[in-house]
Amino acid sequence: MASLSLSEMVTFSPNKNIPIHRWFYYREGYSKAFVEWALKTYQLDGPVLDPFCGVGTTLLTCKENNVQAYGCDVSPLARFVAQTKTRNYELEELQKEFSEIKKMEFTFPREGRVESWVSKRFNAQTFRELLHMKNFVEHEMKKSPLHGIALLALIDSTLRASNVERMGASLRRSTSKGYKPIKKFWLQKMDFMLKDLKKSEMTGPEPEIFEDDARVLRHFANESVSSIITSPPYLNKIEYASAYKLELALFFEEPKTQLRSFVGENVKEREVESDLPIVDAYMHDMDKCLKQMYRVLTNEGKAVINVAGGAFPDRIVKSDEMLIEHAIEYGFEVEDNIVARTIDAYQRHSGFMGKVNERVFVLVKK
């Protein structure tokens, strides 16, 4: 991990090879290496808060480094993944339960169909088996110590068993269609997860994870955290509102995906000044987030923030630089400001639009 550049650290890709961190792929996140780099480089103390915790990279990394952490997110999927990844487990107990489950015979229904947009993303028999497995995990395994891992394994296996694939912010028809054995995928994933636990030391302080909005942070008192490590949603014309809608609809009864706290959604409710209302709405909400970060940080506390600018059909918006300017207005001082990578922005019809900076900046409460 030490050989990674900062441009690599601010992506989720390095986590694909790290036990537990790889349990649920989350392309909008950053890596374990980034969190460890932030902790060491800026000598951050706990407790650490991630107000946009997503699937828990900040929280799990802090736990692995024996640092108390708190996280919040508006998405039930994100919170569940983060909770499951950051628990201290009794491995022997889990392995015993798993051995019993592997011996079980499941009798799947062979007919009947629920007509919905979700069912159309699966082979009919695969979907019947998926619903059967879901019912088993949610009810028969509810009191099992393996419940969280079993449910996450099933959630993660859902896309693999479907007839669609994730392409950026959307779901597209897969070339691989037909029946797929969801039970086999589920058992394979659980086995993989238990092997990861065996490779890892499941110790350290379990983080507390809240259903909370980064614009409010109602669970946190003034000056209650020493440090913040986070990555707010980026300003962009493309919103990842549909990427995880399959899992949310099936397991959390959510009609829409909101994997992370999304800022700037109530564009029509505000009087806006620019010809890009989404920019005004985004900055309005990010101002609220910055004020809350300032409120909950202790004096001299630091916030390490990873964010990028936005690309629109006719322009590049340097929202990353705007955030720094606004943070200074609210009382922060800037300790560091690094361009982690520069991304070429293209539009389908107009071609190359310009370059967008993804940066890491460090704010200090004064």
Which CATH number characterizes residue 16's domain? 3.40.50.150
Q: What is the pTM of this model?
A: 0.91
Q: Are residues 355 and 221 in the same domain?
A: yes
Within the chain, what is the greatest distance between any pair of CA atoms?
65
Give the per-residue pLDDT at 288.
Answer: 96
Give the per-residue pLDDT at 275.
Answer: 60
Q: Are residues 230 and 346 in the same domain?
A: yes
Q: Are residues 217 and 304 in the same domain?
A: yes
Q: Are residues 72 and 143 in the same domain?
A: no
Q: Is 345 left (phi over 0), alpha (psi -120 to 50) or beta?
A: beta
**CA quadruple 22, 151, 76, 113: dihedral sign:** positive
- One-letter-per-residue 3-state SS of 296-314: HEEEEEEEEEEEECEEECC
Q: Is 365 helix (H, G, I), strand (E, B) or coil?
A: strand
Give the per-residue pLDDT at 2.
Answer: 53
* Domain assignment of residue 100, yes or no: yes
Distance separating alpha carbons of residues 291 and 282, to the nearest angstrom: 14
Residues of the chain with pLDDT under 50: 1, 237, 257-262, 264, 267-273
Give the per-residue pLDDT at 157.
Answer: 98
Segment 86-139, tens digit of pLDDT: 999 999 999 999 999 999 999 888 877 677 889 999 999 999 999 999 999 999
Give the per-residue pLDDT at 241.
Answer: 54
Q: How far apart are the first and last CA of the chain?
A: 33
Q: Are residues 269 and 358 in the same domain?
A: yes
Domain of residue 273, residue span: 6-86+204-365
Choosing from 151, 175, 199, the residue where a domain stops is 199
Q: Report yes or no: 274 and 291 within 8 Å, Cβ to Cβ.
A: no
Q: Are residues 150 and 57 in the same domain?
A: no
229 closest CA partner among 357, 72, 38: 38
Number of domains in the chain: 2
Q: Are residues 44 and 73 in the same domain?
A: yes
* Domain assignment of residue 72, yes or no: yes
Q: Are residues 119 and 182 in the same domain?
A: yes
* Domain assignment of residue 1, yes or no: no
Q: Are residues 281 and 348 in the same domain?
A: yes
Distance separating alpha carbons of residues 263 and 76, to the nearest angstrom: 17
Give the per-residue pLDDT at 274.
Answer: 55
Helices (H), the chain: 6-9, 32-41, 57-64, 76-85, 91-103, 124-135, 147-161, 182-199, 245-251, 277-296, 319-329
28 closest CA partner among 1, 61, 55: 55
**Bridge partners (DSSP) listed for residue 302:** 227, 364
Give the per-residue pLDDT at 255.
Answer: 56
* Domain assignment of residue 267, yes or no: yes
Choosing from 140, 172, 199, the residue where a domain stops is 199
* Domain assignment of residue 225, yes or no: yes
Element (H, E) at 342: strand 332-347
Burial group, residue 139, by CB count within 10 angstroms (0-12, 13-18, 19+): exposed
Q: Are residues 80 and 40 in the same domain?
A: yes
Cis before residue 47, ω within 30 degrees of 0? yes
Choosing from 156, 174, 199, the residue where a domain stops is 199
Q: How far is CA 178 from the centre of its chain?
A: 30
* Domain assignment of residue 333, yes or no: yes
* Domain assignment of residue 250, yes or no: yes
Segment 231-284, tens digit of pLDDT: 998 887 455 557 888 999 999 986 554 444 445 455 444 444 456 778 888 999
Distance separating alpha carbons of residues 137 and 149, to the nearest angstrom: 10
257 closest CA partner among 166, 122, 364: 166
Q: Are residues 55 and 154 in the same domain?
A: no
Q: Are residues 82 and 107 in the same domain?
A: no
